[in-house]
Amino acid sequence: MLTVVAFIVALGLLIAVHEYGHYRVAVACRVKVLRFSIGFGTALYRWKPRKQRPGQDTEFVIGAFPLGGYVKMLDEREGDVAPAERHRAFNTQPLKYRAAIVAAGPIANLLLAILLYAAVNWMGVEEPQPVLGSPVAGSIAAQAGLHGGERVQAAAFEGDALQPVRSFEDVRWLLTRGALDSRDVRLELARDNGAGGGEVLLPLSHLDARDADAQMLRKVGIVSPWSPPVLAEVRPGAAQRAGLQAGDVVRRIGTQAIVDGPQLFETIRAQIQDGKAVTAVWEVERNGRPLTVTVTPELVTEKGATFPRVNAAVGGPAAKVTVRYGFVEGLAKGAARTWETSALTLRMMGRMVIGQASLKNLSGPLTIADYAGKSASMGLTQYLLFLALISVSLGVLNLLPLPVLDGGHLMYYLWEAVTGRSISDAWMERLQRGGVAVLLVMMSIALFNDVARLFG
């Protein structure tokens, strides 16, 4: 139920803001707006506000099909217009007014994203401290000499000035941008005792452009923040039989030193050889005292995969820090995050078009609904961050130069500005059909990815 509500609220808000952008600028340009609709199809509810600007008699509608909306304006191409109102028709407006009205929708979404990111910055959010978890074996981070437990004090792209790092999310975001932009990243480290740890260069420019997928951060090697390698809960099974208890801190399994929770999990999963579970000596710490136990995992099979399990919840929570900014800095960082996310979105779309990134990165309504529910269950700040990300995506998508999208209409206006004449009706019809075909293909791929991701 939460997923459905969170999805409907997200759609309603983002569509309403987008269409309000069109509506507000149209009214400011003195274009007559006939209808403002959130959703398509049968009208579930309609009304006309008593107080409207002189000359406006806009009908507001909530449609049955919520995946979109529209603002219908007086237009000679869509019906008869009285001579006395011809000056208020959309198609008779100067080019700059038409362009402003069309661009206002996507711009409204981007402005909303800035405000949402800024609101999170002002409210403050609990994020993991910038302490690195153990790197993935063979990854760029592992080859650079990282072991896990390093605290990041500052970071930047190679060639840029180092900037202070306040949380692990700052590190993750910089690494994501660096991987997608093929830019090397410098990390200034400190050990847990505060001593200087020097600098580490992560050569992300060596990543192939086709590595830009859901497993990208595993190839970089920094997947999660450091968390203690503790047994949070011990249930009946291998761990309990070996004498392990909740609260035990695992220091070593066999010859493998254990740095953090994720590494502990992966090491347990690796205790299999020739189809049999491997017995290993565990060195643990209980109440500050060292202890040695012998553990033989149990083999279980799930979804066709066989792996060892000790029936214990492994890994404790990462240490948190509250990240909060003042009004001006929070707003500035909200604008910067919106710009960076927009640029990354465009680059990813470009790579998918030329085949340098997988089309599996496309997500549709099912994935969006799933993330809406998950983010809402994590609290207000996470839901606001989700809304900001989707608002950026909606704004950028609508600015693409595809007919039927706002960007396609802006492309027509660019042609008109350069040549001094509008596109012919025949060409307009061809381009519209082509645009619809492209969008249907994109939606089909996104829906296929949704089904494979959620039910595969």
The rounded distance, in Å, linking the Cα atoms of 37 and 35 is 6
Side chain identity at residue 174, one-letter code: L
- Which residues does 127 contact at the CB level (< 8 Å), separation at least 6? 166, 167, 168, 169, 320, 321, 322, 323
Residue-wise burial string across 279-299, b where 16 or more C-beta atoms lie within 10 A, e elsewhere: ebebbbeeeeeebebebebee
Helix and strand element counts for the chain (H, E): 12, 18
Residue-wise burial string across 318-333, b where 16 or more C-beta atoms lie within 10 A, e elsewhere: beeeebebeeeebbeb
Return the residue matching tokens 């207000």: 380
Q: What is the DSSP letter of 75?
A: -
Candidates 19, 127, 150, 188; catalytic one: 19
Which residues partner with 128 through β-bridges?
A: 320
Return the residue matching tokens 């090491």: 267
Report the Cα 121 to chain-centroid distance in Å: 17
Q: What is the DSSP letter of 319?
A: P
Q: Is 150 a catalytic residue?
A: no
CA atoms within 13 Å, Cβ hemisphere of 260: 20
Residue 115 in tokens = 């405000």
Other C-beta atoms within 10 Å of 4: how many? Answer: 11
The rounded distance, in Å, linking the Cα atoms of 150 and 142 is 12
CB 45 within 8 A of CB 62: yes
Residue-wise burial string across 357-375, b where 16 or more C-beta atoms lie within 10 A, e elsewhere: beeebbbbbbbbbbbbbeb
> Containing H/E element for 3?
helix 2-28
> Containing H/E element for 308?
strand 305-309
Residues written for the chain: 456
Classified as helix, coil or strand, 376 is helix
Cα 212 to Cα 129, 149, 347, distances in angstroms: 26, 26, 11
Residue 325 in tokens = 């900014």
Residue 454 in tokens = 């959620």
Q: What is the DSSP letter of 293?
A: E
Question: CA angle 166-170-172, nearest 5°?
Answer: 140
Which of the residues are catalytic?
19
